[in-house]
A = this chain, B = another copy of it.
Amino acid sequence: MSNDLSAEIAKQLRNAIVSGELIFDARLPSEAELAEQFGCSRSSVREALKRLAAQSLIRTQRGAFGGAFVRRLSYEEAYGEHVTTSTLLLSMNEVSFDVACEARFTLERACGALACFRRTPDHLATMRAEITRQGTPGLTDEAWCASDVAFHRALVDAAGNPVMSYQLAGAVEAMQPLMNMITFTARSRERILALHGAIAEALEARDATRVNQSLEDLAAYTTTLGHDVMAARDAKDQHD
């Protein structure tokens, strides 16, 4: 039906994998066999297999008794894919800062409640370490943002639900590019740092209400900063 053979072949093989017909670690027929089955050349089969490899659906192994094998999608890989897709989505679609912020903090607050029950000393230690780093003078914007992401990731992980950590990967990590615009002044960093401290303390005390409140404050402040930056940029554009 399609005018792209390799896409069609990839689709059929993908279906076989997703439907469970080909299970984890199952070996696909060799490229030559697939070419015969589909009545096409080896090149077309290879292009199809590369498509599947790009989606982490298969791995290939050279040599005798090698071939393409169905791959188990790990949390780490799924996490990475989710972050890449989300980053791309946000960077290519002019998403409003407000909307992205709202989504991120709404979801993060949902984690906060669970995290109060489940947080371990490990999670608290990670958060405190990032807070310390954020207090060091002369931190570059990139380093600050990376640390910010690590802090929030620790908060999400503290909820102790790997599925949720995966789901929130995009919300937390893909925000980084958007956050880069708002951390210009030392004053704004100071304020954010104080709010991070409040969150960590409330989490240590397992005080869900305070965690929630601190996250709301942080959301409000972040939104304000975003607006200020946007307004300043608009003014500059007018001036130029």
A73 close to chain B: CB less than 8 A: yes
- Which A124-180 residues have a C-beta within 8 angstroms of B? 159, 161-164, 166-168, 170-171
Q: How many residues of A are counted as interface, with CB atoms below 8 angstroms from the partner's CB atoms?
A: 57
Instruction: Give A79-106 as 1s and 0s: 1 = Cβ < 8 Å from B's Cβ atoms.
Output: 0011011111111110100011011101
A24 shortest CB reach to chain B, Å? 6
A18 shortest CB reach to chain B, Å? 6
**Selected interface stretch from A28-36, A50-58, A181-189, A197-205:** A50-58
Taking A54-B55, A107-B107, A163-B100 as contacts, is the C-beta distance between A85 and B88 under 8 angstroms? no
Question: Copy number of this protein in the oligomer?
Answer: 2
CA distance A85 to B57 in the complex (A): 10
List 17 A–B pairs whose Cβ atoms lie within 8 Å, in order of A's numbering.
Answer: A6-B50, A47-B47, A51-B51, A55-B55, A72-B92, A73-B88, A73-B89, A78-B86, A82-B82, A82-B85, A86-B167, A106-B114, A106-B159, A109-B110, A110-B110, A167-B167, A167-B171
